Every structure is written in C-alpha cells, then in structure tokens.
Structure 1
Amino acid sequence: MLPRLPLDDRTYAEIVQQARRLIPKRVPEWTDENAHDPGITFIELFAWLTEMQRYFIGRVPDKNRRRFLDLLGIQPADASSARATVQFSNIKAPVTLPRGTKLMAEDQMFETEASISLVPLALDRIVTRTEREANDVTATNDHANVAFYAFGKDARTASKLYLSFDRELSAQEQVTININLLEADKGVGNDEVQHLVINREAISPSARLSWKSYCWDEAAGTAGWMPVEVVEDETLHLTLSGKISFCLRAPMRTVTVHPASEQPRYWICATVEESGYEMPPRIRQLMLHTVKAEQKDTLSEVIDFTVSGEPHEEIHIATYLAVFGQIRVQVQDADGAWRYWQEIASFEELPHSDRPPAFYSVLRHASMEHVTVQFSDGSTGAVPPPGQTVRIIASEPKFDLYRFIGRSNGLPSQSFELYNLSCKKREALKLQVGEQEPDGHFKWQDWKRVDEFDRSKPGDRHYIYDPVKRLIYFGNGEKGAIPPVSMDTNIVLTGCELGGGDRGNVKPYLISEWVNEAHKALQIEVNNPSFAAGGSEAETLQVTLQRAQSELKHTFRAVTNEDYETLALATPGAAVARVHAIPLYKPGLDDYPREKANGQVSVVVVPYGLSDTPTPSAGFLQTVKRQLDTRRLITTEVHVIPPIYIKVTVNAVVVVEPQFVDEGQRLVEQLKKLLRPLDGEHGTKGWKFGRSVYKGDIYNALSKASGVVYVQDLWIDAEGAHVRKSAGGDIILPPQGLVYSGQHEIELISRTHL
C-alpha cells in the first residue's frame, strides 16, 4: 500500500457540516434538517462517497511528497545540537582554552564554540542604587531564578549598577561580563534559546549607559570615577542578553560603596545617562568566564588558510583538535586539486635543492593555547603558493580507523555505508575522492553534499548522505559524477562531526566534566548554570508537511493591516505589547477619515511596561520601523508612532441594594478593567484603538455589577491631546488614541433611602 497524502484534509463530519450550512442559501424552502429527513440521508451518503474518493486520490508516495516540498523550497529540518552557556571557576592561574574544548554532561559531549582566556578574577559584590534606595543584590545574583532590577523599577537618569571585583584590574586588562536578562514577556522560569540570530545593527537602544571605574587619575593627581573603554557591548545598553567587554585606562583604586561599606573594594559602575527604557532591565545573572558550548563531538575538522607565499610561512591554529590531536596539511595546486605534504621534525638538516620537497613541521606550545605549522624557505623545502591554498586537517587519533570509506569501482550509483559513525546531521561530513597519478601519489578533490541529484550535472562532484541508513550515495554519470576508479581506497572523510538530537538538552550543572587529562590537572571547575536547549532530532516527513502548511501561512510581507500588525509584534529586540495599523493616515492629519493620506500607513505600537501608560522611546519606534521597512511595499510610506493616551474619569451616582452601599471600590475596579490600554489576564482585551467612549459602555459595565439597581446619574471627563466631547457627553478619541482610568468617583445610594 502506498502511504497517504492528505490532499484534502476534510473529514466525513466536516463534509456533512459544510453541506448542511449551504441549505439555507441554496434551498431556503428546505426547513426540516433533522436526521430523519431523506435529504439529510442523501447528504450523508454523498459525503461518504466524497470522503472515500478523497482517500484514494490522496495515495501518493513519499518520494513525490519530497518533490512537492522541494518545489516550495522546503526541506526536512536536519538534526540540531543543543547549546548552553558554561561557566568556569576556581581559576588559580591564567590559562587559555582553545575553541572546541571538550566537556562532558554524563554521556553527552559538548564543545566550546570559541576560545576563552581565563584569569583569577571573581565578582565580589553587586549593588544597585537609585535616588531613593540602594540594595546589595549579590545573593540574588547567585540564584539565577531570582531576577533583580539593574536600575530600579523606574530606571531613571543617574541610576547606577555597581560591580566590585576581588582584586585590582590592571590597566588595559580586558574583562568580559555575561549579562543574562529577563525578557519583558517571559517568566523567570522560562529558559529558552533563540534560534534566530538577531541583527543587532537593526536595534536602536531605548536608553544610554556609561561605564566608569574608580581609578587613579594621573593628570589630576587624585582618584575618581573615570570612563572605561567598552570594547564590545552585545547587550546594546542592557536591551538584550549578551556580553560586555571593557578594559581600563588607568590603575584601579579602592572605594567604599553603600550598602557594601564594610570595606573598600575595586568597583566599576554603569550609569543611566539617558533614560527611556520601556521595561526597566531585570538581570537574572551576571557571570564572568563564560562561553557558549554546543553538544557535539568533532572527530575531524577542516580549516582553510590564506598564505602570502613568502618563505618561512607560519600558520597558528587555536583549536582543541589541533592542540591535542593529529595534524595533516594539504596544499592546493593550480589545477584545484589538493595534495598532502609530509611532516618532518625540523628543516635544519635538509639539503638545498632546485626542486625542494613538500615538507612542513608542527610546533606544539606548552601553554596548550595553539599550535604552529611552519613551512620552509623555498630552498630546503617547498613554499605553498599564495592565496587560500593551505588546508589543515586536525583530527582525533582514533579517527584513522574511520576516515577511509572505500574505493570506487567506477560504476554508476555507488553507495558506501558508515558502519561505526553515527552522524545524525546531513552536514556532518566532509568528503574527498582521490585519483591516482602515474607516480603512485593521489590528488584529492572536494565533493559537495546535496539533498538530491535532480539538479546535478554529469560533471558535478556531488554526493548524498542519509543519516538514518548511514549511507553515502554517488551519482550515475548523468546526474552527478562517478568517483574515478581506483585499486586502492580513494574515498575518505576529511571532516566528521557526531552529536545532535534532543538528548543534548541537559539539565543545569550537568556539564561538569573535562575530557582531556591536561585540563583536569588545572583543577578548574565548570558547569552550565541554565538548561541546554535547542537540540532536536531530524524532522520526519509528516512534520515537514505540517511545517510547510504553517510557513505558507506565515506573514513575511506587509500588505494588509493585519500583516503590519503581525510583523510589528514580532520585531526582534522590541517587546511590543499591542499594535494597531491605521491605513491612509499620517501623523498630523486632523480630519481623518474624511481626509486621507494616499500610500501611507501609520502603525501605533504599545510596549510592555510597568506603568499604566507605557510609552515607546524614539529608539523603540525606530527599531519597529526598520522591521517594517524591510517588509513593506516599495510604494508605501510607513510611520511608526506612539499612542495618544486619554485619561478618562467617570463620575456616577448609582442606586444599589442596601447590603452593597459600602462597595463603591468594587465598581471603581470594574471601570478600571474596562478603561485600560493593555490586555489583561485570561484573554481579556484592552480598549480598542481610537474607539470612542460612550456613556452606554459605562452604563453597561456598572449595571452588570452585583447589587446595582440602576445608574441614577453619569458624566464623563477626559484629558489628553486631540480628544473631543460630543454633545451627548461621549468621548471622541483620535485614531491612535487609547484610554486609561483616572480617579473615578462613584457615589452609592441605597434603594431604601430613595
């Protein structure tokens, strides 16, 4: 039996329901729609026949499904590796860990994504200070599930965040602090990984910070707060989570900062120079000595280098496999083929030659930071040609058992099985095929992995890797080239990466073991303060079909009002709570909708905030505008504007039952729930943009309350820009207007006192 493809996903019950809904329109005289009616029986009969026909039409093989998806540009998602932030502590001496340093979380291997320099340094105290209070939040920072406000709830100008270290930082010493912020619309317990890379250049910060340290000022001859050099700020003034790297310009001095005033310390300070945060930044954790780690086990890696072609060329490789593994060197010839060069211990005893041999040497350093590959002077040994012609293949010693795949027999559609390599990712392998020359040496060519051979030409060096079957497939000579025939093994792996899948999503503090004995001897402690996340298995075809349907409905171009609103809510780096698109409107248009601005759209955005009337900053508006400008029609001009808040105050005299005469505050709360700009809990919506406040709305809200007999008297006052009051006492709002509650005055009169 062929597998089922739901070309029409309607069920029998849905077909019957759709047919019954057409009865009033097509046959209005048909009034008896009960099950005993013969017409209903015929509808059910034909629905059954339709469902049966749809079932047989939908019998399409998986191969065709993949072709349909390919026409849409959609491929099943590959397996992905979990990622986590790891932190190092108990550092007794400076040390540099190369990229790819291997760590263990029980049976899961993790590798660091970048090199990191560790020095003996720790955060001693953390203090927040506003104009009203100062708090020592050091203990809070030690518990990542408790967030604290970096600059208080108001984050006003001159608010400060102080960080002290356990020793003096020397001048020009670079320090990197990892700041993990709590997102505006996330709870403290949510630990998520952003799979999409945020373009930080498209984000305009809402506030501006300055960083200073207490240092010795040589010019003034005294100590004081002096600016530090911010080398990199991924947080964009504490807008996003990320790293801040800085270095000092002068020697530090100790100073006492309240409330950590029991002793002087070495302090740096972040000060709010320009306020404007929509949601004041809340810090989950400040950490030193952190780096991202990915769940994978790289057995072999390929690194290409560009060389100048000069004598005595040196290449420095700062990766774990280069430092602790085997190194092979390939050099590319003019014809594009790669050839292995031979490693020797030294060039000193080599004789001069008109045709110098292809040698290189490897210098390993005691610091375990990097290794150096050296080439000769062109006389005792050859010099690589200039350009990107040198390739370093660094691998685990055990990889020699796996890197030889087999030899080609020169026939079409060859396949080779990887018996001992459980590579879950389609991109986990890099492959070369060799062709033997008359002198017995091989020249090697890179082959490229593709998903299918449909677009491959006869000369394309392509192959397919199936992670489920662990098979490598080659072309048939018409679609994809055939590897050249060889009597010896000529199909080898140059790159290989294991790992991926949901098992890498480990719990906090499980990434705690070193793999290499040299790293264990350093006695440095390592752990992951938060969950590893992002690991997933390869997508099945059924899941891919469901994702395709979802992606086809996904909004990626701004055409309709709903498009603008959807895209504005999804703006990276801007926590948008509510949004409203006003077509044919521009700021300053007074008599809208009688007067219209052709080709223009105004988008009103409301940010998340702690106040009753959260207002976006200029940077916030600019960030949303950049998002929409990349998606709008070229003939449309977009304005991103803040809302106009209208303060509405209700004055009412309400007659109630005698037992409710003391519950006026309950009616006030009822009005506050009605007249609010933001959405509430349990799906309740805030006031609609630009909707007038009618007396009937207030009458209805008050009359629904328990104990209310009737509303005897009612009048409404409003304050705000461009607000009008009708002759009947209703409040007319501008198109971008939103209401919020003032001090409502509700007078309750007992029914028995009338």
Structure 2
Amino acid sequence: MTLPLPNLDDLTYEDLVEEARSQIPYEYPDWTDHNPTDTGIVLIELLAWLSEMLLYRTNQIPENNIETFLKLLRGSDWELEEEEPLQSAIRQTVLELRKRYRAVTCADYEFLAVEEWNKSQTNSSKKVDRARCIPYRNLERQGSKHAPGHISVAIISKPINDNDDGYPSPELLGELWRFLDERRLLTVRHHVVPAEYVPIQIKATLVLYPGALTAEVERRATEAIQDFFDPFKGGPDSTGWPFGRNVYDSEIYMLLDDVYGVDYVKDVKSNRLDKDDGYDRRSILGNQDNWQIELEDYEIVDLESVIFKYGL
C-alpha cells in the first residue's frame, strides 16, 4: 500500500489574503486602515496572488523532475526506457528501496551472503548455501579473539558433484568479500572465511528387540545419525546443523532409541577427531553420562564415522 501524496495546493487566494490580514493586529496594531485602497493591503494581495501561483506550480511536479529524483535514487547511470511508463519506473524504484541492501547487523550479512549474492550468480560453484556472521572476530587471523570493529562471515556450500568437497574456493571468498564491501558500514572491517568442519566419530552399543535384523537396524540407525548431523538438512529443525551448536551425547541416546528395532541404547560416546590444538573440547553436563563436544561459533559438525556394537 502506497502512501497518499499530500496536496500542496490547498490554499486559495482568498485564504492567503485573509490569513495575512488577520496577522496585522498582532504584528502592527497601529495599522488600522484595512481597505483595499491601502498600499499595505495592495501589497498583501499582490503577494497572495504570487503565492497562489507558486503553490499551484509546486503541486504540479513535471515528469522531468520525477526522472531526476529517480536517477538520484537509482544511480547516475539509470535512464528511463522509451517504452517504460513513468509510473512503472516509480513503482520499481520503490520496490528496490524496500530490498535489504546495506549490511549493518549480523542478520543483514547472513541474508546478503545467502540470498542476494546467490541471485547475482549463474555459476553454481560460486553459490553460498549457509552463512554465519560472528561479530568482533577476525577469523582470517589464527588465534584471534576479541577484535572490535571486525566482523567475520563463515560460509559453507553444497558439493556440486562427487569430486567436489564443498570447500569454498579462494575466488568465491574474494568475490563475496567485494560484494559485501560495497554494502558494509565504513567503520567495519569484514572478513569472509570458510566454516571450519569438526570431524567427529559416534560410538554406541545397541540392544535390539528379539527378531530384529541387525543389518536393517544398523542401516536405519546410521541414516538417522547422518541425517541429524547433516550440515544442510540436519539439526533439531532439519535446516542444517547450526553453526557452533555443541554435540550432546544425550541427543544421540534419544535419536538411536527411536530407531525401529532398537530396544535401548548404552555406552554412547562422541569423539572429536581433530586434536591438533591439544585441547579436548569434551565436557560433562550435569552427570557422567551426559557429555558434550564444544564447538566455536564458526565451526560445524562433520560426521566422519559411526561405529555400532550390539549387546544383550
């Protein structure tokens, strides 16, 4: 719904004369001759006549002026097409103004990286499927922690074929950086980096119902684990494993317990396979049976292997 345009020509000649005449007692009480022959009244009527004409002209904006306003909004290179109606150009300009263009908040960066960037790309290898904005971090610098004025955008892309690992290319990172550079605030330094995949291994012991086929149960259990930790369709809401979300052994218990043919589950253990930093990010939540793998905001789960044992 468009806003109604104001009527700028809402005062007549009589209105202007009467309003000016009503101010005389307040502005100059000694002026008592308000007859049309008075020189001051003649001047008021002359100014009212000129004002009425100017108001009329102000309310009648020429098409050339409107085109100039549109060019200010859409850039100096824009020109109205010969066959394009002016009202259509106005409507299109208003729609463009409503689009999210500037990157101010983290939500803006994520929206621009996933939505607007992908619309501008025809090459599927340069598309971004998910993005996470981390404020006050420079992830291009190893070991960087709090960095005022910096914003990092971690991205992941789906593999386009069996030979593609889905890792964003340096070309994609550079082009996306330039795309966001035109939209960022002047005081912000932004960085575009690939998300760090954290390889994990899941181990569990399954106790099956009598008559359950081990091969079928293992297939269903493996698929359930793989789907749950999938970076594009996993997670609690099936929209992809959230960036920085910890891995909880308790959720694996619950997930495997719902698999058809499984009576109960025991000895679940999730292991983080990358230990290059010498820090095991497993910790206990509440009790000895509820462990978690801690992830940073820019990290995402990469399920390397699932190992099941079967007990009684």
TM-score category, normalised to shorter length: 0.5 to 0.7
Name 2:37's counterpart in structure 1: none
Select the residue among 590, 596, 604 that pairs with 2:154. Answer: 604
Select the residue among 292, 299, 302 that pairs with 1:740. Answer: 302
Q: SS of the residue aligned with 2:305? A: coil
Name 2:281's counterpart in structure 1: 725
Select the residue among 544, 547, 554 that pairs with 2:99. Answer: 554
- Aligned pairs for 1:674-693 (under 5 A) are 674-679=228-233, 684-693=238-247
Contact 1:661 1:748 in 2 (8 A): no
State the percentage of identical aligned residues.
28
Select the residue among 698, 720, 728 that pairs with 2:252. Answer: 698
Q: Taking structure 1 as reference, are residues 66 and 730 closer, same or farther at Cα in structure 2, changes over 3 Å only?
A: farther
Q: CA deviation at 1:661?
A: 3.9
Q: Taking structure 1 as reference, are residues 584 and 748 closer, same or farther at Cα in structure 2, changes over 3 Å only?
A: same
Q: SS of the residue aligned with 1:730? A: strand
Select the residue among 62, 69, 83 that pairs with 1:453. Answer: 62
**Greater helix share, 1 or 2?**
2
Q: Taking structure 1 as reference, are residues 686 and 613 closer, same or farther at Cα in structure 2, changes over 3 Å only?
A: farther
Name 1:651's counterpart in structure 2: 203
Distance 1:690 1:705 in 2: 26
What are the ranges of 5 or more consecutive residues in structure 1 without an aligned counterpart? 8-59, 68-450, 457-461, 463-495, 501-536
Q: Deviations over 1:408-436 (max 9, x none)?
A: xxxxxxxxxxxxxxxxxxxxxxxxxxxxx
Letter in 2 for 1:746: F
Contact 1:664 1:747 in 2 (8 A): no
Q: Does 2:113 match 1:568?
A: yes
Select the residue among 642, 650, 655 that pairs with 2:194. Answer: 642
How high is the TM-score relative to the length of structure 2?
Answer: 0.61
Contact 1:692 1:730 in 2 (8 A): yes
- What RMSD, in angstroms, separates the aligned Cα atoms of the two structures? 3.6
- Aligned pairs for 1:116-127 (under 5 A) are none
Select the residue among 222, 226, 238 that pairs with 1:668. Answer: 222
Q: Taking structure 1 as reference, are residues 630 and 664 closer, same or farther at Cα in structure 2, changes over 3 Å only?
A: same
Q: Taking structure 1 as reference, are residues 453 and 705 closer, same or farther at Cα in structure 2, changes over 3 Å only?
A: same
Q: Taking structure 1 as reference, are residues 65 and 581 closer, same or farther at Cα in structure 2, changes over 3 Å only?
A: farther
Q: CA deviation at 1:707?
A: 3.1
Q: Taking structure 1 as reference, are residues 497 and 667 closer, same or farther at Cα in structure 2, changes over 3 Å only?
A: same
Name 2:47's counterpart in structure 1: none
Contact 2:283 2:294 in 1 (8 A): no
Q: SS of the residue aligned with 1:714? A: strand
Q: Taking structure 1 as reference, are residues 624 and 497 closer, same or farther at Cα in structure 2, changes over 3 Å only?
A: closer
Q: Deviations over 1:482-512 (max 9, x none)?
A: xxxxxxxxxxxxxx977x9xxxxxxxxxxxx
Q: Deviations over 1:121-155 (max 9, x none)?
A: xxxxxxxxxxxxxxxxxxxxxxxxxxxxxxxxxxx
Name 1:317's counterpart in structure 2: none
Distance 2:7 2:249 in 1: 59
Q: CA deviation at 1:734?
A: 2.8
Letter in 1 for 2:224: Q
Q: Deviations over 1:312-343 (max 9, x none)?
A: xxxxxxxxxxxxxxxxxxxxxxxxxxxxxxxx
Q: SS of the residue aligned with 2:133? A: strand
Q: CA deviation at 1:65?
A: 8.6
Q: CA deviation at 1:589?
A: 6.0
Distance 1:544 1:699 in 2: 55
Q: CA deviation at 1:706?
A: 2.4
Q: CA deviation at 1:676?
A: 1.9
Q: Taking structure 1 as reference, are residues 589 and 700 closer, same or farther at Cα in structure 2, changes over 3 Å only?
A: farther
Distance 1:659 1:613 in 2: 40
Q: Taking structure 1 as reference, are residues 671 and 552 closer, same or farther at Cα in structure 2, changes over 3 Å only?
A: same
How high is the TM-score relative to the length of structure 1?
Answer: 0.27
Letter in 1 for 2:188: T
Q: Deviations over 1:513-544 (max 9, x none)?
A: xxxxxxxxxxxxxxxxxxxxxxxx99779x94
Distance 1:66 1:544 in 2: 20
Select the residue among 116, 121, 131 that pairs with 1:579. Answer: 131
Contact 1:672 1:740 in 2 (8 A): no
**Greater strand share, 1 or 2?**
1
Letter in 1 for 2:280: R
Distance 1:724 1:602 in 2: 25
Q: SS of the residue aligned with 1:724? A: coil
Q: Taking structure 1 as reference, are residues 733 and 6 closer, same or farther at Cα in structure 2, changes over 3 Å only?
A: same
Q: CA deviation at 1:655?
A: 1.9
Letter in 2 for 1:578: R
Letter in 2 for 1:742: E
Q: CA deviation at 1:740?
A: 1.7
Q: Taking structure 1 as reference, are residues 585 and 452 closer, same or farther at Cα in structure 2, changes over 3 Å only?
A: same
Contact 1:664 1:748 in 2 (8 A): no
Q: Deviations over 1:249-293 (max 9, x none)?
A: xxxxxxxxxxxxxxxxxxxxxxxxxxxxxxxxxxxxxxxxxxxxx
Q: Deviations over 1:10-67 (max 9, x none)?
A: xxxxxxxxxxxxxxxxxxxxxxxxxxxxxxxxxxxxxxxxxxxxxxxxxx5xxx3999
Select the residue among 633, 644, 668 that pairs with 2:185. Answer: 633
Q: Deviations over 1:616-675 (max 9, x none)?
A: 111111011001111111111111111111111111002232243421111001000111
Q: Taking structure 1 as reference, are residues 658 and 598 closer, same or farther at Cα in structure 2, changes over 3 Å only?
A: same
Distance 1:732 1:564 in 2: 25
Q: SS of the residue aligned with 1:660? A: coil
Distance 2:99 2:2 in 1: 21
Q: SS of the residue aligned with 2:247? A: coil
Contact 2:253 2:266 in 1 (8 A): no
Q: Taking structure 1 as reference, are residues 705 and 66 closer, same or farther at Cα in structure 2, changes over 3 Å only?
A: farther
Q: Taking structure 1 as reference, are residues 646 and 579 closer, same or farther at Cα in structure 2, changes over 3 Å only?
A: same
Q: Deviations over 1:343-387 (max 9, x none)?
A: xxxxxxxxxxxxxxxxxxxxxxxxxxxxxxxxxxxxxxxxxxxxx
